[in-house]
Structure 1
Amino acid sequence: MHRDVIESLKTSSLDFSNESKLDFQHKLLSNRDRKIIVDIRRELEECDEFIISVAFLTESGVTLILEQLKLLEAKGVKGKILTGDYLSFTEPKALEKLLSFNNIEVKLLTESKFHAKGYFFKKKDVWSFIVGSSNLTGTALTVNFEWNLKVSSLVTGKIAKDILNEFKLVYNALPELTSNILNRYKEVYELSKQLKIKKNQINGDLLEIKPNKMQELALLGLEEARGKGDRALLISATGTGKTYLSAFHILETKPTKVLFLAHRKTILKKSLNSFKHILKDKKMEMYGEFENSESDLVFGMVQTLSRDEHLLKFEKDYFDYIVVDEVHHGGAKSYRKILDYFKPKFLLGMTATPERGDDFDIYELFNHNIAYEIRLNDALNEGLLCPFHYFGISDIKIEGKEIDEKTSIKDLVLDERVEHIIEKSRYYGYSGEKLHGLIFVSRIDEAEVLAEKLTERGIKSKALSGETTDKERETAIKELEHGEIEYLITVDIFNEGVDIPAVNQVIFLRPTESSIVYIQQLGRGLRKSGNKEFVVILDFIGNYQKNFLIPTAISGRNSFDRDDMKMFLINGTNIIPGESSITFEKIVRERIFENINKTNFSTKKMIESDFEILEKQLGRVPFLNDFYERKLIDPLVILKFRKTYDEVLKTIKPNLNLGSLNEAEKNYLTFLSSIFTPAKRVHEMLILQYLIENRKVTVKEVLKVLEERYSLFNQEKNIENALKHLEKDIFKSLSTIKEYKPLVEKLDEENIWVIKKGFIESYKTNSYFKVLIDDLLKYNLNSSKDNYKNFSKEGVIKYKSYSKQEAFWYMNLDFNNGYQVSGYTIFEKEKKVMIFITLDDSTPFTAYDNIFYDRQHFNWFSKSNRCLNRNGKLTGEGRIAQNEFTIEVFLKKKMGENFFYLGEVLRVEKAEEILGKKGEPLVQYDLILKDEIDKDLFDYFNLN
């Protein structure tokens, strides 16, 4: 460890190319590419002792580390926290939470201009210090532009001695925080808080409501859509201000008469109030409140206006602008009757959920004219919604059995489970002084019994379902808003059309069957409110078949790409935009990992679902690149269902007649689809695209295009390798390739390549073949450009995943002799060894116990019956031990997955001949990677 710290110091301060451990290198933390909280959490998880010394701390900051503090308490790791009362920023509720841990000592520095911000973590003989600008707050650790320097020091180092002594001078002079000290501070804090509220109210009254950044873009989109037709659809996540947006557009376009339609009176009343802030000089009314009214804007209930005695009061062109809220209900007879009757100059439909479970095509209703989309992640990124802190919590076991979809009502409302829910609710808490919670369950009787049991325990709760009247529902919502009850427990009635900004905790006690419904329910807590800084999401996850939909829904990544889903489970906090954070308990992660691995996403049902969504959105047949651009099911998943998209279309849409392919065209399409897709570098597809346009190409021409378009240099080997693949030369002996026709050929002239005559003739004469080829080219170029752009001479990127065949391919190696390798292949000419490791602990891999000693050191085994020397000469294995080869490492966790590229081996540290578990001779190596494995990936590999 002493040596590791010295080498890291050299790298940090003397020579950045010096090889050393990343964990000990100096590092700037700024929230730019990686949220600071990610590093803070990891340090906490691995430390033996910790100190946090910040000018102030808030509940949002403490909530970010609650899971880590819980684990530290369980391990008995001691911590000290020092904060101050500077400008009364530190929140008493945050201090109370910290005092609830028996392993943490808290002290409050008063009446001092204390500005220090530092996080100190001891692990064995090394201290890691993170010192800079970040207080323990949600914004400071996630989104603010901050500068914090992380440095490491042995416990005997001068910097460690100086920092810790400085801390102790202040800390040891203070009394430990007690309830008396905290209560005195609370009084000061409350006075300061009331003053801030009054100032904000004065400033708020003076402020003019203006469009935010996304609303400005949406207004441009609305104007563009208005130029295309007389109706447009606005897709906007709940809480992103779509009502204000419609009011801004009306202010801009100045229609004479406006009708605002909705299916609930509460929506209409709130919409009218919002419009009054923007259109101050306009007369407005709720329809039916006045006789013979001449209002400029009328807010009407769909159920009322759809009746003839009301509808026929108006001429068809009476309203020149109509707004329909929650327009995804537009397929209902009442809606259609109104929309078919009126002939406005412009019809605006607004919805957060255009993807419906029914057959109604909302996109067709608006002629596929989409003005703008503000999805959940866009809104979080722009700060339009309240940040959330999500905790995926393991549900209880009942008689040793995990809760699943078949669990009885009796077991779902067991006292033990109710206590578990209460305990977690209290631990993870909520923002603000009062709890305003929503609980989603799957059955009405479960909601009713749970409400009773919570109320019996002093937690006032009410159950609501489709059976409760509108009046009962509205009364219950008001009681929740006013703090008269703490929980509303519902089944599916709060998926949409309900606005309760006060909600500061959402609990899921149900299996996730639909990512659409999940986001609707999650969205109930995301509306901003002056009384909350964040919302806590508690997801009690049992052994549900579709729990993999949770990372899919929250991340907004509906590709069903396994690697993508797994990475979100490991580090969703860094992926989710804004101040929000994601935490999964270890057992929950493992449970979801298991379902991701065993679920077949390449099914007709899965593809059909997204196909129908896209078909409605686009108003035409979707192709592979459409799925990619719209972030729906990944084309790779689709092509695992059938070899080509032509076959996919014929399977899911047998009556669709876009065209036909002859045998040669099918051959070309299958070759491109199954062997070259998805492309993990741009070269092959770029060359093919260039050849289609120009018929012939040289390496020099491709070099120029790669430099100009992609800023890729020194690509000669990659280009030649790509051409050989398209020509089918480099892997012609592989049985899986033999059936395919080559796409290009080399002329006798030096370095000139041409496209095959049969291919280009089909491309020119068969429009259907052309569409399919263009689609493949477009998707592959887009995908490789987005995901595989950071490479130089060789086309592999660390921590990306590859099949064995792809690994050899993109290393520019001839894999005729490599594709069938079991563990490794030696390439004598190139002086390279490709090693492939599977960490799976099942047969046949139990013969080799691969161990990672840390993120850089690991062991590896040769094949059976191998030795270092034979007949006085070094064997291939012996030459590996002598570091004669560059060793490239690819590793996967389980069978059926691709291998992650970990980079080159720095050196073989040790090699010895041993006997395997069956008594066979083999060689065991200890290897050191050039670079430490990415922490996220390392965590994934080490999950049980």
Structure 2
Amino acid sequence: IVDYIRPKGPQIEALYELKKTRLEGLEKGLIVAATGVGKTFLAAFDSKSYNKILFLAHREEILNQAARSFSLIKPDAKIGFFTGARKDQECDILFATVQTLGRIEYLNDQFFSKEYFGYIIIDEFHHAVSNNYGNVIEYFKPEFLLGLTATPERLDNQDVFALCDYNLVYEARLKEAINKGWLVPFRYYGVFDDTNYSSVDYRNGKYNEKQLERILSRNERADLILKNYLKYKSLRSLGFCSSRNHAVYMAEYFSNHGVSSCAVISGNGVQTENESESKNKSFIIDRKEAIYKLKKAEINVIFSVDMFNEGLDIPEIDLVMFLRPTESPTVFLQQLGRGLRKQRNKNYLNVLDFIGNYKKANLIPYFLTGDIKDYQKLGTKGYIPDEEEYPEGCFINFDLRTIDLFRHLSKEQQGLFERVTSEYMRIKESREDKPMRLSMYTYMDERLYSAIISRKNMNIFRDYLSFLEKINELNEDEENLIGTKAHEFIKEIENAKMSKLYKMPILLAFYNNGNIKLVINNEDIYRSFKEFYSRGSNAVDMLRDSSTSNYKEWGKEEYISLAKRNPLKFLKQSSSNFFYEQDDKFCLTPALQQYIDNEVFIR
């Protein structure tokens, strides 16, 4: 049987790109592919020639599923697990939970040396910005690290791509996967829900959970959901709820009206403000038992919060219900993807989405295109994509009242500058610190970033100090820098063209890790170039130009030659008021001397 397992469709394409990226000398890569196209098998195929493999995930069920897949590809490999209950070390392929292996006490030579694993796979890579993942990525030095995800864009805007050195190896998003027949199409019904979300407190991008739970757990709303559910004669459905209590409420309501249902929730049952309040826990079933019964059609609906966003493989699912506000494209596509796996005699997935006047509800038509990278089309015009922008074979139907709601919500959006200011305050509050350029860039809402980046007068990153001045966020030391030569220099760097990265080693040589130099020599330039291009992802420009592709063999002479014919030459031309050459040294204007020890300028 093993001999007949071969890569298919997207796996073949991705394997080719992975081979190519390693030939280019890159040591990390990210695969973005829709749920259901076989990312785990892809990882097994790609890592087959490596002796020691680590597969990292945040749930044991994901590890167990992955172990079964890897065993089919490498049947002779010794499988081990590193979890709360097991601490295997002597094995060929180790499947580890990040909660365990990511702890500092296990990241040492007593357990595994830094070079122990030749190939590391991180599943559901959009989680990798959390601390434990960072600990693993920082500690181990594999020959290659592969990140797998269907949805790299995060609601909190933390930069997932940076963890793979911005090396996106292969991409097959939802639309392409459906168009190529790798997933089934969907029939989506946007049902108008008159729930009044404006009565719920909204803070830091989230609704108050208790208040939200109360307005969603109403018999009137549950009856609307049930009546729509019954139209489609579903045998196996998933319903995504706002909280554990909401999931139990829905399971009880459906069961009491003749639809066999259960709730699968984390923790030890429902939450109550008063322990004396009795809640019916008989509708709560263990995850494994619920999945088994759903596959056998012994129950028809599983209600959950987020336990089935990832790591669920039930191709038989024929209907998905969104029963809570969906503002994150990542969560939306994860939940939609639960039902898109192909299955014999399954021609499509039905999707019921109950849409009220919650924040960003007007983005849902765009989420359904499956392309959540490009938000420029989303403005304040109530944009609804054309039919051809949706995946082929998909049917999308919005209640007319829902379309009116989208337009109304779009008109309520703030002006662009007010939105940027609000976003700054949100990041400041969530990070508990004033966001400077890098933090603002990293955590800024991607749609908002896309909106400002193409507008010269609105792009705050072209003059960040002036933006802080406009919103009264400067301290006294920062105010003293406004309008000075130092401020002019900062703006010059912020607006420098960086189509290639050649200027960065020069600027870093001047910066000198915060000990700013006004004069650098050939030795400084050589060291900075050598260090900068020792990091794989920085060398993409070098690798793609035949004249520099052999840079790993270069010495001082070749790096200095590159510096003189490219970044030094163009910095002198484009920024001659700051950069000049003298006595075979490259210099910054002496007018900056008084600022080189200024903490605000250095930062």
TM range (shorter): 0.5 to 0.7
2:533 corresponding residue in structure 1: none
Amino acid at match of 2:225: I
1:345 aligns with 2:143: yes
Matches within 5 A, 1:171-320: 208-226=4-22, 227-251=24-48, 254-286=49-81, 295-306=91-102, 308=105, 312-320=110-118
Structure 2 residues not aligned, in runs of 5+ = 201-210, 270-283, 429-436, 470-477, 479-485, 496-569, 579-603
State how far apart, in whole Å, the 2-side matches of 1:450 and 1:293 are: 44
Aligned to 1:456: 256
The total of aligned residue pairs comes to: 446
Instruction: Report the CA distance between 1:540 and its aligned residue.
Output: 1.0
Contact 1:235 1:354 survives alignment (8 Å) = yes
**Alignment TM-score, normalising by the size of structure 2:** 0.63
Letter paired with 1:392: G
Q: Corresponding residue for 1:327?
A: 125
| Matching residue's letter, 1:551 | P
Candidates 490, 497, 504, aligned match of 2:318: 504
Q: Amino acid of the residue matched to residue 220 of structure 1?
A: Y
Q: Closer, same or farther in 2 for the Cα pair 1:659/1:527, shift >3 Å?
A: farther
Deviations 1:211-235 (A, max 9, x none): 3343233223322332333222222
Residues of 1 paired with 2:125 and 2:63: CA distance?
A: 14
Residue in 2 that maps onto 1:584? 398
Structure 1 pair 657–273 and aligned structure 2 pair: CA distance change class (3 A):
farther
Deviation, structure 1 residue 560: 4.8
**Bigger RCO of structures 1 and 2 (CA < 8 A, at least 6 apart):** 2
Task: Select the residue among 356, 376, 380 that pairs with 2:154.
Answer: 356
Counterpart CA distance in 2 for 1:276 and 1:500 is 20
Secondary structure at the counterpart of residue 298 of structure 1: strand
| Larger-gyration structure (1/2) | 1
Distance across 1 between alignment mates of 2:577 and 2:344: 56
2:349 alignment partner in structure 1? 535
Aligned pair in 2 of structure 1 residues 376, 452: CA closer, same or farther (>3 Å)?
A: same
Q: How does 1:513-524 map to 2 (within 5 A)?
A: 513-524=327-338
Distance across 2 between alignment mates of 1:631 and 1:360: 10
Q: Is the 8 A contact 1:515 1:552 kept in 2?
A: no
Deviation at 1:595, TM superposition (A): 1.6
CA contact (8 A) 1:561 1:637 kept: no
- Structure 2 distance, partners of 1:641, 1:428, is 50
Partner of 2:219: 415
Task: Rate the CA distance shift 1:330–1:643 in 2: closer, same or farther, 3 A.
Answer: closer
TM-fit CA distance, 1:609: 12
Superposed displacement of residue 550, structure 1: 0.6
The match for 1:553 is 367
Partner of 1:440: 240
**CA apart distance, 1:378:** 2.7
How large is the RMSD of aligned CA atoms in angstroms?
4.4
1:514 & 1:649 partners in 2: Cα distance? 28
For 1:222, what is the secondary structure of its paired residue?
helix
Alignment correspondent of 1:495: 309
Q: What is the DSSP-based 3-state SS (H/G/I as helix, E as strand, rest coil) of the residue aligned with 2:238?
A: strand
Gaps of 5+ in 1: 1-204, 613-619, 625-629, 666-760, 770-944
Give the corresponding residue for 2:549.
Answer: none
**Distance in 1 separating the partners of 2:487 and 2:33:** 35
Q: Distance in 2 between the 1:486 and 1:414 partners?
A: 21
**C-alpha displacement of 1:532:** 2.8
Equivalents in 2 of 1:377, 1:238: separation in Å?
A: 12
Q: How far apart, in 2, do the equivalents of 1:522 and 1:768 lie?
A: 55
Moved more, 653-662 or 472-481: 653-662
Mapped contact 1:460–1:487 kept (Cα < 8 A): yes
CA distance in 2, matches of 1:278, 1:462: 36
Distance 2:488 2:315 in 1: 49
Shift in Å, 1:538: 0.5
Counterpart residue identity of residue 211, structure 1: P
Alpha-carbon contact 1:514-1:549 (below 8 Å) kept: no
Determine the C-alpha separation between the residues in 2 that align with 1:512 and 1:767.
51
Three-state SS of the structure 2 residue aligned to 1:228 is coil
Q: Helix, strand or coil: the match of 2:346?
A: coil
Helix, strand or coil: the match of 1:439?
Answer: strand
Q: 1:646 to 1:366 in 2, by over 3 A?
A: closer
Mapped partners of 1:606, 1:376: distance in 2? 31
Distance in 2 (CA, whole Å) between partners of 1:767 and 1:271 is: 57
What is the CA–CA distance in structure 2 between the aligned matches of 1:532 and 1:508, rounded to whole Å? 21
Question: What amino acid is the match of 2:119?
Answer: Y
Q: For 2:187 and 2:14, locate their aligned partners in 1 and report how far apart those are by CA, in whole Å.
A: 28
Contact 2:237 2:318 in 1 (8 A): yes
Could you list the per-position Cα deviations for residues 265-314 of structure 1 after superposition, in whole angstroms to 9, with x for gaps in the alignment? 21112112222333345443445899988643232333444464796333
Q: Contact 1:239/1:527 (CA < 8 Å) preserved in 2?
A: yes
Instruction: From 564, 574, 577, give the equivalent of 1:765.
Output: 574
Corresponding residue number in structure 2 for 1:833: none
CA deviation digits over 1:842-867, x for unaligned, max 9?
Answer: xxxxxxxxxxxxxxxxxxxxxxxxxx
Partners of 1:768 and 1:462 in 2: CA distance: 70
Look up the match of 1:67: none
Superposed CA deviations along residues 788-834 of structure 1, whole A, max 9, x for unmatched, are xxxxxxxxxxxxxxxxxxxxxxxxxxxxxxxxxxxxxxxxxxxxxxx
- The question of 1:544 aligning with 2:320 is answered no
Question: Equivalents in 2 of 1:606, 1:225: separation in Å?
Answer: 40
- Supply the AA of the counterpart residue of 1:344: P
CA distance in 2, matches of 1:343, 1:233: 17
Residue 526 of structure 1 deviates from its aligned partner by: 2.2
The 5 Å alignment of 1:770-809 reads none
The CA deviation at 1:581 is 1.9
Give, as a single letter, the amino acid of the residue that structure 2 aligns with 1:219. L
Q: Secondary structure at the match of 1:548?
A: helix
Q: Structure 1 residues 285 and 358, CA, compared in 2 at 3 Å: closer, same or farther?
A: same
1:712-745 Cα offsets, whole Å, 9 max, x none, are xxxxxxxxxxxxxxxxxxxxxxxxxxxxxxxxxx
For each residue in 1:640-670, what CA deviation from the matched residue of structure 2 results, as whole angstroms up to 9, or x when unmatched? 69456665755667899795679xx9xxxxx
Structure 2 equivalent of residue 427 of structure 1: 231
Q: Write the letter of the residue equivalent to 1:241.
A: G
SS in 2 for 1:322: strand
1:214 is matched by which residue type in structure 2? P
Alignment TM-score, normalising by the size of structure 1 = 0.42
Asked if the contact 2:185–2:349 (Cα under 8 Å) also holds between the matched residues in 1, the reply is yes
Instruction: Mark the CA change 1:650 to 1:394 in structure 2 (over 3 Å): closer, same or farther.
Output: same
Q: Give 1:501 deviation, angstroms.
A: 2.9
CA separation of 1:639 and 1:356: change in aligned 2, threshold 3 A? closer
Deviation at 1:243, TM superposition (A): 0.7
Taking the TM superposition and a 5 Å limit, the aligned residue runs for 1:539-938 are: 539-555=353-369, 556=371, 558-562=374-378, 566=382, 568=384, 571-572=386-387, 574-600=388-414, 602=416, 603-604=419-420, 642-643=457-458, 649-650=464-465, 659=489, 764-766=573-575
Cα distance, 1:458–1:224 mapped onto 2, change above 3 Å: same
Amino acid across the alignment from 1:525: G
Opposite residue 318 of structure 2, the aligned amino acid is N
Does the aligned pair in 2 maintain the 1:214–1:382 contact within 8 Å?
no
| Contact 2:264/2:285 (<8 A) preserved | no
Distance 1:658 1:429 in 2: 67
Q: Distance in 2 between matches of 1:353 and 1:418?
A: 30
Q: C-alpha separation between the residues in 1 aligned to 2:308 and 2:410?
A: 29
User: Is contact 1:436-1:481 (8 Å) kept?
Assistant: yes
Corresponding residue for 1:369? 167
